[in-house]
């Protein structure tokens, strides 16, 4: 389990999500058909599908439910993929890229379908604004709309500066923006809790505070935990940025990047809606993104910055507050009540990394959603389950995408950080 240190603070989500479904620790040896490591969006989504099909399924999680990225994310439901669709066309051809795009759209619908089917509320709101930090970004946003339309996705609208300020946002720092009515935001930990309750209802077993100390391969997979061993015919790795060194064949292909979020004190509905008129999710167009939205109890949740180096500020609130005030200087009198961080999993090419590996070909994995994981992760869990069940071949599409490890492995990742600093400087210089 990755040690977060200063990041491992009480998130606003944990303070507001209510009691989680009851799950214990693994305290005996157990045999199942499929074991899953990671009780976040990916692992729980797979568990729902497998258990509903009658497969003996057990999930182990190193911390509490959603302890990793799923329970810390900004909660933004994004359209498409982090790098856009050109890399998909290059890797899979136009037809394969269209199939990948359609899967990303199905991932958004799956969130609502799960919430409705299992009767839980995760505060889903639709509407998303992408804002231009400089005039040239407006051309990029127009090109993005054109790309989406070429893949059959309509409804996005380019907003000039005057309209963005008059109708949508209470800030004057942007040069315009794009509105996407088909993207949005949710309360991620309430979503985790809902998925966990659904998986338990279908018959899956979930064990929390059960870190895997060793993974033994073979025809049978054995997961050695502190107080028991989980033995399975097949394994799903749903750890994303929290894989650490547990399974080197895929851990070398992912880089954990820290991102930080602050939550203000409650602002009241009227003042909150002066910031974001229609309660939509917002992100800017910089490479190092600022992203923000309102909570159901009328706080501003403001996220961004990042750390590629493993260094984290000791006072996250003080570190993030100036970024928030640059966008909303009218919040200078507002207290910050929560500050936390977590790790996003990125791949070298920013495309999701998924496949089937292992000495006996019985280990499935999906990781590296590169900032678009809220919708895509649940869909990847569903696709892995379909692959195991033999009912859905679409997982193989992502397994066709070539991935390379970060050059030099973990020790060389600081060198990759220098490249990221270039893009950060480009953001600042305009």
Query: How many Cβ atoms from other residues are within 10 Å of residue 2's Cβ?
Result: 18
Does residue 429 carry a pLDDT above 70? no
Q: How far, in Å, are 66, 172, 195, 239, 263 from residue 235 at the CA level? A: 19, 50, 19, 12, 37
pLDDT tens-digit readout, 171-202: 999 999 999 999 999 999 999 999 999 999 99
Does residue 3 carry a pLDDT above 60? no
The dotted CATH code for 5-73+189-255+349-422 is 3.50.50.60
Does residue 301 carry a pLDDT above 90? yes
Rg (CA), the chain: 21
Domain ranges of the chain: 5-73+189-255+349-422, 126-185+256-346
Does residue 421 carry a pLDDT above 50? no
pLDDT tier at 395, thresholds 50, 70, 90: very high
Phi and psi at 166, nearest 5°, equal: -80, -35
> Any alpha helices (H) in 276-429, and if so which ranges?
316-327, 373-389, 395-399, 413-429
428: three-class secondary structure by DSSP = helix
Tell me the whole-structure pTM to 2 decimals: 0.93
CB-based burial, 116-128: b 16+ in 10 Å, e otherwise: eeeebebbbbbbb
pLDDT tens-digit readout, 350-381: 999 999 999 999 999 999 999 999 999 999 99
* CATH topology match: 5-73+189-255+349-422 vs 126-185+256-346: no
What's the CA gap between 282 and 130, in Å, rounded?
Answer: 6
- Tokens standing for residue 305: 């910055």
Phi and psi at 156, nearest 5°, equal: -75, 150
Name the packing angle between helices 188-202 and 41-52 (round to 10°). 20
Phi-psi region of 75 (alpha: psi -120 to 50; beta: other; left: phi over 0): left
Half-sphere exposure of 410 (CA within 13 A, CB side): 10
Average pLDDT value for the chain? 92
pLDDT tier at 427, thresholds 50, 70, 90: very low
Instruction: Quickly name the fold that domain 126-185+256-346 has.
Output: D-Amino Acid Oxidase; Chain A, domain 2 (3.30.9)
> Any alpha helices (H) in 83-170, and if so which ranges?
86-118, 135-150, 161-163
């Amino acid at each position: 389990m990755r040690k977060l240190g200063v990041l491992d603070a009480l998130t606003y989500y944990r303070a507001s999500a209510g009691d989680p479904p009851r799950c214990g620790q693994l305290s005996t040896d157990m045999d199942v058909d499929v074991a899953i490591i990671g009780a976040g969006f990916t692992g729980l989504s797979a568990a729902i599908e497998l258990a509903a099909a009658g497969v003996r399924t057990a999930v182990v999680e190193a911390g509490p439910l959603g302890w990793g990225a799923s329970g810390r994310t900004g909660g933004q439901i994004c359209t498409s993929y982090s790098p856009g669709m050109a890399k998909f066309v290059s890797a899979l051809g136009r037809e394969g890229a269209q199939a990948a795009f359609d899967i990303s759209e199905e991932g958004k619908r799956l969130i609502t379908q799960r919430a409705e089917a299992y009767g839980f509320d995760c505060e889903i709101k639709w509407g998303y604004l992408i804002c231009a930090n400089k005039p040239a970004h407006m051309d990029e946003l127009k090109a993005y709309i054109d790309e989406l339309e070429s893949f059959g996705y309509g409804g996005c609208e380019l907003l000039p500066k005057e309209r963005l300020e008059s109708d949508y946002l209470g800030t004057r720092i942007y040069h315009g923006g794009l509105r996407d009515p088909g993207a949005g935001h949710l309360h991620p930990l309430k979503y985790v809790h809902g998925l966990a309750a659904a998986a338990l209802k279908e018959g899956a077993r979930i064990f929390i505070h059960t870190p895997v100390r060793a993974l033994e391969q073979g025809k049978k997979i054995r997961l050695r935990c502190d107080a028991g061993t989980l033995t399975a015919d097949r394994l799903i790795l749903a750890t994303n940025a929290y894989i650490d060194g547990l399974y080197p064949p895929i851990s070398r292909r992912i880089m954990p990047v820290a991102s930080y979020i602050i939550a203000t004190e409650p602002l009241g509905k009227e003042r909150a809606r002066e910031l974001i008129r229609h309660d939509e999710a917002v992100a800017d167009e910089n490479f190092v993104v600022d992203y923000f939205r309102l909570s159901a109890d009328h706080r501003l949740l403001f996220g961004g910055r990042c750390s590629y180096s493993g260094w984290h500020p000791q006072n996250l609130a003080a570190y993030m507050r100036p970024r928030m005030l640059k966008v909303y200087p009218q919040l200078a009198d507002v207290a910050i009540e929560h500050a936390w961080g977590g790790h996003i999993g990125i791949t070298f090419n920013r495309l999701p990394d998924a496949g089937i590996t292992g000495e006996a070909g019985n280990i499935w994995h999906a990781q590296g959603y590169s900032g678009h994981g809220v919708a895509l992760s649940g869909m990847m869990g569903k696709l892995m389950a379909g692959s195991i069940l033999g009912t859905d071949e679409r997982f193989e599409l992502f397994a066709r995408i070539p991935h390379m490890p970060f050059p030099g492995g973990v020790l060389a990742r600081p060198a990759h950080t220098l490249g990221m600093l270039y893009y950060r400087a480009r953001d600042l210089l305009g």
